[in-house]
Amino acid sequence: MSIHLIMFIAFGVVCVAGAINLLAQSHPINSALSLIAVMGALAGEFLLLGAEFVAAVQVIVYAGAIMVLFVFVIMLLNAGAEERTQGSRVAIILGVPGMILGSVLLAWVVLKHSGTQAVAVGALPGPPSTIGQLLFHQFLLPFEITSVLILIAIMGAVVLASKPEAVQKRKEH
């Protein structure tokens, strides 16, 4: 086994363990921190696949910016630990194995019949210049449409977050 594969599996384990811990923790801030661990581990996986730019962006945007906002909101609301509720036993006995079985089946079907192959190490477009070429030549239209979509989402968020009186006032003017 090459050192790449060992590290890939290690990051994968951290990723899955973080995701499970996210669900298991009762305090929101612990869940948010597990999500950061998941993001960091994902960045490691990208790095191992040779996509260093995507890895850096994963850390800067997701772990460094979006999750800081999550933590910020949790801190601002000073959210306490959730109460543990006794969930239904049927859900645990049937649901968990059912979900695992379902995802394994799905992965098997997709890999078997769609002709998709596992991504080889270094096969992804890694250097920032390659990503830039792809984004601004081949995928220019989707890229621009996505940016407009994000702009609409930002404006929607501003409208939703502003007080109703302010909106009313703006209409009167």
Partner 1 sequence: MPLVPFIVASVIKSIIVIFILLTAVAYTVWLERKVVGHMQNRWGPTRVGPFGLLQPAADGIKFLLKEDLTPPHVYKPLFLAAPMIAVIFALTSIAVIPFGTSITIAGYNIPLQITDVNIGLLLILGVTSIGVYGVALAGWSSNNKYSLLGGLRASAQMISYEISLGLSLVGVLILSGSFSLRSIVEAQSGLYWGFIPRWNIFPQFFAFFCYLIAAYAETNRIPFDLPEAETELVAGYHTEYSAMKFAMFFMAEYANMITVGCLATLLFFGGWLGPVAGPAPLRVILPVFWFVLKVFVFLFIYIWVRGTLPRFRYDQLMAFGWKFLLPLALVNLIATAIVVVR
Contacts to partner 1 by CB under 8 A: 29, 33, 36, 52-53, 55-57, 59-60, 63-65, 68-69, 71-72, 74-76, 78, 127-128
Q: How far is 106 from 169, CA to CA, in rounded Å?
A: 53
Is residue 54 a contact partner of residue 124, using CB atoms and an 8 Å limit? yes
Which one, 118 or 148, has the nearer CB to partner 1?
A: 148
Q: How far is the CB of 86 from partner 1 (least distance, A)?
A: 26
State the nearest-atom distance from the C-beta of 95 to partner 1, in Å.
30
**What is the nearest approach in angstroms of partner 1 to the Cβ of residue 92?**
28
Beta carbon nearer to partner 1, 42 or 59:
59
Tokens of 140: 């220019």
C-beta of 19 vs 56, nearer to partner 1:
56
The terminus-to-terminus CA distance of the chain in angstroms comes to: 70
Q: How far is the CB of 127 from partner 1 (least distance, A)?
A: 7
In the complex with partner 1, the residue whose CB is nearer, 26 or 103, is 26
Task: Please say which residue, 8 or 50, places its beta carbon nearer to partner 1.
Answer: 50
In angstroms, give the least distance from the CB of 90 to partner 1: 34
Which residues have CB under 8 Å from 26's CB, separation 6+? Answer: 81, 82, 83, 84
User: Which spans in 25-139 are helix H?
Assistant: 28-48, 52-57, 67-77, 89-90, 96-113, 128-133
Q: What is the DSSP letter of 99?
A: H
